[in-house]
Amino acid sequence: MRPENKNRLINAGIRFLIPVFILFSFSVNAQQKKQRVFFDGYVSDIQQVMFDSIGNNWLMDNVIHNRLNLEVIPHNNIRVVLQARNRLIFGNSMTADPLYADRTGADQNFTDLSFNIAKGNSFVLNSTIDRAFLELTFDKFELVAGRQRINWSNTFVWNPNDLFNVYSYFEVDYPERPGCDAVSVKYYPSFSSQIQGAVTADSAGKITAAMFGRFNVLNADIQLLGGIIKEEDYVLGMGWVTDIRGISFRGEGSWFYPMERNVDTSGKILVSAGLDYTFSNSVMLQTEWMFCNKPIEIENGITSAFNGAMDVRALAWSKYSGFAAVSYPFNPIINGTIAGIWFPDLKGFFVGPSLEFNVAENFNFSIIHQYFKSNAMLAGTSMAKGYQLNMFYLRMKYHF
């Protein structure tokens, strides 16, 4: 890690912290204390089967996933949050990929809080702290320091405004989504408006910093943002959420421009927009589409796009992409969903049906299928190669 980047992050954090701590020190004694502790979590078990064709070799894995959430409120101006996910992973993927355990234990954040407690040829036991922050509030100000989730996105599948902790739509057992090591300050000028500044660094010490503002205009929530991404690109973005006769219309877009002048300076544009509507019979319809003038090149077919660290600039695999989903609660216990994505440049698509059974108030199980198919051109060649992948999941989850 470069020392100058670490010092820059610390200095930036101090600039955020000093004024808020001063304000907080004047108010802490005047407030009535409220001491509260909250603890919850869940345990899930996922059986996964993966194959390209049912007659070929199957990879079978199992993940026992435990999440622990601790929240302490020692004072009505102070909140401390600590959350961790613990996973025991075992199965064929471990033996097929010698680097599987190392990738599981990798942490792309400034502080390494992912620990492989034990590992062998066929298993890995990993514990990751994905939330660990202190939150201070004073009047209309809020400061959060530590590992947190900074959520600036509006859309469902592709999130060009999610600069700090982008996530994968295809992740089936991580509803909390990843966090980042950051210092952020929020200011609420009114009930419907918000201004936020945040700074973070990754494991290489590269800084991402941005300002964000959200306000309401004619019953539409509008947001604007700007900053730098990993000391590589400037970014400007905007987003919106509004309602048109019961139809939710939301979208967001970002423009990334390289900081170095000796590289391609045309910039990258990512725009996503979507509609969702719930009918009177409880059928919910979602649609979304995305445009990117410079989608990433996939080296070995559509499945290779799942490997490596997530980056907001690498969301697009095709210049145009389209998504649609329909969900319906058959009864209070059973809910069904089918989703699909089209990737024209890859000559590919994704289909994902699922069923969820709410057996009890704190226990449910799900059946999930993900199918990917593409006939993409291999990067740097004029050759096309077909790929397909089936992934089946059986998940049981108990909340406590």
Number of domains in the chain: 1
Task: Dump pLDDT digits (tens) for 37-84.
Answer: 999 999 999 999 999 999 899 999 999 999 999 999 999 899 999 999
CATH of the domain at 62: 2.40.160.10
Q: Given this model, what pLDDT does residue 269 score?
A: 97
Query: Where would I find the beta strands (DSSP E) of 53-139?
Result: 59-75, 78-91, 114-119, 123-138
| Residue range(s) defining the domain that contains residue 162 | 3-399
Helix, coil or strand: residue 95: helix
> 207 with 196: CB under 8 angstroms?
no
Q: Given this model, what pLDDT does residue 130 score?
A: 96
Backbone angles phi, psi at 24, to 5 degrees: -65, -40
Number of H helices and E strands in the chain, helices first, is: 3, 19
The C-alpha atoms of residue 177 and residue 378 are separated, in whole angstroms, by 31
Q: What is the DSSP string of 19-73?
A: HHHHHHHHHGGGSPP--EEEEEEEEEEEEEEEESSTTS--EEEEEEEEEEEEEEE
Q: Given this model, what pLDDT does residue 24 score?
A: 46
The C-alpha atoms of residue 353 and residue 282 are separated, in whole angstroms, by 18
The C-alpha atoms of residue 130 and residue 115 are separated, in whole angstroms, by 12
> 277 with 283: CB under 8 angstroms?
no
The C-alpha atoms of residue 86 and residue 65 are separated, in whole angstroms, by 6
The C-alpha atoms of residue 10 and residue 200 are separated, in whole angstroms, by 10
Pairing of strands 141-148, 387-399: unpaired
Q: Given this model, what pLDDT does residue 16 score?
A: 47
> 314 with 299: CB under 8 angstroms?
no
> 303 with 291: CB under 8 angstroms?
no
Residue written as token pair 């097929």: 96
Which positions of the chain have pLDDT values less than 70? 1-35, 263, 265, 299-309, 376-385
The C-alpha atoms of residue 290 and residue 343 are separated, in whole angstroms, by 10
The C-alpha atoms of residue 223 and residue 216 are separated, in whole angstroms, by 9
Among residues 86, 162, 65, 171, which one has the least CA distance to residue 129? 86
CB atoms within 10 A of CB 105: 18
Q: Given this model, what pLDDT does residue 304 score?
A: 53
The C-alpha atoms of residue 346 and residue 221 are separated, in whole angstroms, by 34
The C-alpha atoms of residue 138 and residue 101 are separated, in whole angstroms, by 43
Mean pLDDT rounded to a whole number for the chain: 88
Q: Which pTM value belongs to this model?
A: 0.84
